[in-house]
Structure 1
Amino acid sequence: MSEATTSATDVPVPALGSAPAHRDPNVLRWVAAYTASMRGDTVFYLALSWAAVQNGTPAQAGIVTAVSAVPRALLMLGGGVVADRFGPRRVVIGSDAVRCATVLAVAAVLFATDPGLWLLALLAVVFGTVDAVFMPAVGALPARITGTDQLARVQGMRGLAVRFAATVGAPLGGLGVAVGGAAAAFACAGLLIAVSVPLLVSVRMRARPADDAAARDTTAWLDLVGGLRYVRRHRVLGPLMVAIALGDLGFVGPLNVGLTLLADERGWGASGMGWVLAGFGTGAGAAALLLTVRGRVPRAGCVAAGSLVPGAAAIAALANAPGLPAAVGIAVTVGLLTGLSGAMCGALLQTQSEPAYLGRVTAVGGIVSLGVAPLSMPLSAAAVGVWGTGPVFAVSAAVCALGGVVALAAPGVRRAELPG
């Protein structure tokens, strides 16, 4: 069921000494496809939120916008198995095509009639289900299009793509809603996702190693269990996943719902909160740009784990900022340090994993970030209501710092290096 033979687009690419990723047309086509797809995602979720608010109560709208997370969290491990069995390229192409067709179909229905919340809820479920397959495949793809010495640079480029998609996608979605309502915004999202498909088709793949390309005799369930066992026993991946989980648990709450409550408490208003978020985005973008330009950071494991500790201290300091300008400056620091840690963790997951397990390893990381970490948001909101922002930000910072300590205490992570 795996790619047992080399397709016409699979070409030998050396593991090391590859062309710099930012000058490699093959990588640039992938980055362009990924950027278009992420812009489509941004517009999609904005359109979904707007349409849900227009068709139901605030509580119903919240359920519709959140329901896509359920199948994504439940099915992502299975999506990792699919990516490893069928190959990440064909899975990404297929899932993007399904996402595009689904969103365009809903846009056509909305242009013709007003079906109500049930269609939006169904769309969210379908989108989340396909995302469960799409995301592990996207994570496994970079290692198949360039050499391992370029994966840190690719992670930087991927981070820049995410920042660009968020910056451009939100205004584009708002423009679509203003011009033609939710239907026009959904159509825009579908067309942006559609742009990624021919670009992905043109991306060349490295031929799989012989042992990885051989047909599998195991069942999908054994593949899933084997992937979890592989991560748990790996001297780098196991502790790194724990560090990622703790880092995200300590980061997601304060920088989402906690920041909203902090801005309200300090009287900064929505515009002030926007400036703080912009500061965070600037710092994260700077970290991504650094990796894109530099390509390799020495002592990668120490950098990935060590940057979490001062980043956590900056999270705690955010709640005690004397004013909005200081808060923006602290947010830049948070974005820079956590962005650097996240990109380095992503590069280490890519380079430390055996090719046959990349989809499942990416799926485990996705479950940690998208399944476990969001649980901290309602807990943070409830805790702020009881104890206030200062103590909650401090506890969240301690959890985030603990992730760095766990990773630094693991010899495998501490000594991990990126190929170069």
Structure 2
Amino acid sequence: MSTETGTSTAAPTAVDRPAHRDGNVLRWLAAYTASMVGDTVYYVALSWAAVRAGTATEAGLVMSASALPRALLMLGGGVVADRFGPRRVVIGSDAVRCAAVGAVALLLFLTGPGLWPLAVLALVFGTVDAVFMPAVGALPARITGQGQLARVQGMRGLAIRFASITGAPLGGLAVALGGAAAAFALAGLLIAVSVPLLVTVRMREPAPDDTVTREDRGRRTAWRDLLDGLRYVRGHRILGPLMLTIALGDLGFVGPLNVGLTLLADERGWGASGMGWVLAGFGAGAGAVSLLLAVRGRLPHAGRTAGWSLLAGCVAVGALARVPSVIGAVGIAALVGLLAGLSGALCGALLQTHADPAFLGRVTAVSGLVSLGLAPLSMPLTAASIGMWGTGPVFAVSAAVCGLGGVAALGFPGLRRAQLPG
């Protein structure tokens, strides 16, 4: 298995220096933030251009075109990240995404909007995301010490919140001033900013796997690497239960907080503005947890805390459908964001610290497949179920599924006793 090559093998002060004061980590964070803002602008541009070029159904198909290749290729993307090194894969992925978005922007400048280039672009993005996401997940463990990984998770959460807050208005402004072509051009420029920043990030080499000889390593196939990664996750006393916890938590949260919240706002007569305030409450809660982890660095009893957070979060999800007023819903949504953000950040930090760096791309790919492949399937099911039984029963079932994630975290001794270093 090949390893990462770069400007140096390790950041000399990465272990001792707090992540928020480490220039190496901050360069990675700047690159990640620019890429995430560019992604948000891209989705605004894609949705606008698709609506202008076709019917609502056709626009929906274009917007969902990236999901299939991303789900099908995600596990293979983890193998690529581990074989070639996460930084190299992220740089290459961002370069491809930048080139694809730039090509569509140029095409829209020269011609009118059409569905086929948008569909091709969505498929390219989905394919590249399948290798980009596992590589992004494997990067933090290569740029800082294990004791700083919880803080890095908090910083990453803040970057995601910043991208969601700024990216959509930037994309809307670009569309208003220059149409979809200008928005695509802006997205490509933002993604391009990440490349030179990532080139300057210093990487730590993973320890070699002493159980694999050099001759055997040369004969290893991608398929064997994939199977080895799946066996590694399944047999790990923390990572196996952690994947179950993540899957159940995401399945319980995703449906109600996406399509379910829209239908709840319509049922209660809150309107689009009310729904926006509820979403803002959720974002504020999640952002507060990210800030807490970024400043504090770690929380004790991480496995136990993640489990209890999921159990408390499931109660909040169920209560959300029972609140008649917007103000009450905003408060409960903030609590959901706080608890979901806490459990998600701790699960991510536990994954980073307990996975062998040589397997981290594949471990992250399994987690990404759970979150991005399985959880979104609950959204159409949630919508159909609400249409048949109403919001209250469906939110209650979703809350129960989420609660099972907490039970899994607390029920497996290895995960329940898991700690973060530091």
Answer yes or no: same fold by TM over 0.5.
yes
Listed as ranges, the matches of 1:131-170 within 5 Å are 131-170=129-168
Question: In structure 2, what is the equivalent of residue 391 of structure 1?
Answer: 393
Q: What's the secondary structure of 1:244's corresponding residue? A: helix
How many angstroms apart in 1 are the aligned matches of 2:78 and 2:96? 18
Give the drift of 1:110.
0.4
How many angstroms apart in 1 are the aligned matches of 2:13 and 2:41? 37
Q: What's the secondary structure of 1:11's corresponding residue? A: coil
Q: Which string of whole-angstrom CA distances, capped at 9 and with x for unpartnered residues, describes residues 354-411 of structure 1?
A: 0110000000000000000001100000000011000100000000001110111000
Give the drift of 1:162.
0.1
Give the drift of 1:174.
0.1
| Aligned 8 A contact 2:53 2:113 in 1 | no
How many angstroms apart in 2 are the aligned matches of 1:39 and 1:241? 28
How many angstroms apart in 2 are the aligned matches of 1:49 and 1:348? 35
> Please, which runs of 5 or more residues in structure 2 have no aligned partner?
none
Partner amino acid for 2:189? L
Question: In structure 1, what is the equivalent of residue 369 of structure 2?
Answer: 367
How many angstroms apart in 2 are the aligned matches of 1:18 and 1:404? 33
| Aligned 8 A contact 2:10 2:143 in 1 | no
Question: In structure 1, what is the equivalent of residue 122 of structure 2?
Answer: 124
CA pair 12-259 structure 1, distance change in 2 beyond 3 A: closer
Task: Answer yes or no: is 1:10 the counterpart of 2:12.
Answer: no
Give the drift of 1:337.
0.3
| Aligned 8 A contact 1:9 1:203 in 2 | no
Listed as ranges, the matches of 1:16-415 within 5 Å are 17-114=15-112, 116-211=114-209, 216-415=218-417
How many angstroms apart in 2 are the aligned matches of 1:377 and 1:40? 25
CA pair 49-108 structure 1, distance change in 2 beyond 3 A: same
| Aligned 8 A contact 1:26 1:203 in 2 | yes
Partner amino acid for 1:252? V
| Aligned 8 A contact 1:245 1:368 in 2 | yes
| Aligned 8 A contact 1:236 1:416 in 2 | yes
Give the drift of 1:3.
2.2
How many angstroms apart in 1 are the aligned matches of 2:54 and 2:326? 35
How many angstroms apart in 2 are the aligned matches of 1:119 and 1:305? 45
Matched residues, percent identical?
74
**Misfit runs of 4+, over 4 Å:** 12-15, 212-216
Q: What's the secondary structure of 1:157's corresponding residue? A: helix
TM-score by length of 2: 0.97
Give the drift of 1:2.
1.0
How many angstroms apart in 2 are the aligned matches of 1:12 and 1:113? 48
Partner amino acid for 1:227? G
Give the drift of 1:14.
7.2
| Aligned 8 A contact 1:252 1:377 in 2 | yes
Give the drift of 1:200.
0.4
Q: Which string of whole-angstrom CA distances, capped at 9 and with x for unpartnered residues, describes residues 25-60 of structure 1?
A: 000000000000000000001110110000000000
The alignment yields a C-alpha RMSD, in angstroms, of 1.4
How many angstroms apart in 2 are the aligned matches of 1:216 and 1:272? 58
TM-score by length of 1: 0.97
> Please, which runs of 5 or more residues in structure 1 have no aligned partner?
none
How many angstroms apart in 2 are the aligned matches of 1:134 and 1:125? 14
| Aligned 8 A contact 1:13 1:206 in 2 | no
How many angstroms apart in 2 are the aligned matches of 1:26 and 1:349? 21
**Number of residue pairs matched?**
418
